[in-house]
Every structure is written in C-alpha cells, then in structure tokens.
Structure 1
C-alpha cells in the first residue's frame, strides 16, 4: 500500500504539532494530469466512513477509495533537494515521471 519513510513521518508529526492538528489523520489524494503524471495532495483531516485507513511509521493515514489505485505502492519521503531546501517527494512506480532513487 502507501508508506512513509522515517524522515517523512517525523516531519508530518512535527507539522501536526506545530499546526495544532495533532490527533487528525494525514489525508492523501492524487489526480492524474493530462500527460499521465500524478499530482499529489495532502493535509490533515478527520476519518470519514468510507476511507481506507492505515498507519505508517506512527502516522495515521487516510485515503478515499477512489485514490487508492494511484497511491498504491507509493513511498513518501522528506529530502533535501537543494542545500537547505527540504521537500516531501512521492516515489511512485505507477507515475510515468518516476525515476528510482540513485544509490548513494
């Protein structure tokens, strides 16, 4: 299913604490762009009746059933892309723009 790296989970938990949203789930959504690439969305939210619920690295995650096919097998990480600039990234083999991380 969907997984967080320890770095991503740590940052999500920090954001929830600083934003006053502790106790809420991390909601994930995705949409397919015209070129086939996937647009990822996330925010803190309550659990809804139809949601798929999972836990990764201590973070409660909810996904509406419609988004599961696009998010299945995805790993969310938190990385430094440029010196001092950290971002969440989504590693999804179903996304045509996906490139496996280089070792090292």
Structure 2
C-alpha cells in the first residue's frame, strides 16, 4: 500500500500544525494524464465512509477507492531538489515517468 518517508511525514505533521488542521487526515488522490503519467493531489480532509485508510509514519492517510490502484506501492517523500527548495515527490513504479532513486 501507500507509504510516507519519515521526512514526508514530519513535513505533513508540521503543515497540519501550522495550518490549524491537526487531527485531520491527509487525503491523497491520483488520476491519469493524457500522456499516461500520473497527476497527484493532496490536502487535509475528513474521512468518508468509502475511504481506504492507511497509517504511515504516524500520519493518517485516506484515499478514495478509485485512486487506490494508482497509489498502491507508491511512496511520498520530501526532498531538497535544489539548494533551499524542498518539495513533496511521489515515487511510483506505476507512473511511466518514474525513475528509481540512485544511490549517491
């Protein structure tokens, strides 16, 4: 199933605290773009009856059933892409644009 890295979880929890959304779930959604790549969306939200629930690194994640096939086996990380520029990224082997991280 879907998971967060410790760095991503730390940033999600920090954002929830800063935004006054502590206690809310992190909602993830995914859809296919025309080129086959995957579009990812996230935000804090309440749980609904149909949601799939996952707890990763202390963060309660909810995913609508229609997004589960695209997010299954994916990992969300929080990385410094350029000096001083941090971003959430999705590592997803189901995305044709996915490139496994290289060591070093």
TM-score per shorter chain, which class?
over 0.9
Aligned residue in 1 for 2:63:
63
Aligned: 1:49 with 2:49: yes
Aligned-partner SS, 1:23? coil
Aligned residue in 2 for 1:103:
103
Aligned-partner SS, 2:61? strand
The alignment covers a number of residue pairs equal to 104
* Distance across 2 between alignment mates of 1:93 and 1:63: 18
Aligned: 1:34 with 2:34: yes
* Distance across 2 between alignment mates of 1:55 and 1:36: 28
Aligned residue in 2 for 1:86:
86
* Distance across 1 between alignment mates of 2:78 and 2:49: 29
Quote the RMSD (CA, aligned, Å): 0.3
TM-score normalised per structure 2: 0.99
TM-score normalised per structure 1: 0.99
Structure 2: gaps spanning 5 or more residues = none
